[in-house]
Amino acid sequence: MERLQKVIANSGYTSRRKAEDLIEKGKVKVNGQVVSELGTKVKPNDVIEVEGVELSKEEKEYYLLYKPRGVISSTDDDKGRKTVVELINTRSRIYPIGRLDYDTTGVLLLTNDGDFANMLMHPSNRVEKVYFVKVEGIIKGEHIRMLEKGVVIDGVKTSKAKAKLKRIDKKQKTSYVELVIHEGRNHQVKKMFEAIGFEVLKLSRERVAFFTLDGLTSGEYRTLKPKEVKQAFSLFEK
Residues known to be catalytic: 101
The interface region with ligand URA, picked from 22-30, 145-153, 169-177, 187-195 by CB under 6 A, is 187-195
Secondary structure (H, E, C), the chain? CEEHHHHHHHCCCCCHHHHHHHHHCCCEEECCEECCCCCCEECCCCCEEECCEECCCCCCCEEEEEECCCCECCCCCCCCCCEHHHHCCCCCCCEECCCCCCCCEEEEEEECCHHHHHHHHCHHHCCCEEEEEEEECCCCHHHHHHHHHCCEECCEECCCCEEEEEEEECCCCEEEEEEEECCCCCCHHHHHHHHCCCCEEEEEEEEECCEECCCCCCCCEEECCHHHHHHHHHHHCC
The interface region with ligand URA, picked from 47-55, 97-105, 172-180, 229-237 by CB under 6 A, is 97-105
Does residue 207 touch ligand URA according to CB under 6 A?
A: no
Does residue 208 touch ligand URA according to CB under 6 A?
A: no
Q: For the segment 25-44, give every residue that binds ligand URA (CB under 6 A).
A: none
Does residue 67 touch ligand URA according to CB under 6 A?
A: no
Write down the least CB distance from residue 189 to ligand URA, Å. Answer: 3
Give the count of residues interacting with ligand URA (CB under 6 A): 8
Does residue 189 touch ligand URA according to CB under 6 A?
A: yes
Q: Smaller CB distance to ligand URA: residue 106 or 114? A: 106
Does residue 105 touch ligand URA according to CB under 6 A?
A: no
Identified binder of ligand URA from the candidate list 109, 203, 213, 224, rule CB under 6 A: 203
The interface region with ligand URA, picked from 3-11, 44-52, 78-86, 188-196 by CB under 6 A, is 188-196
Does residue 188 touch ligand URA according to CB under 6 A?
A: yes
> What pairing do the DSSP bridges indicate for beta strands 156-157 and 129-136?
unpaired
Give residues in contact with ligand URA (CB under 6 A). 100-101, 104, 187-190, 203
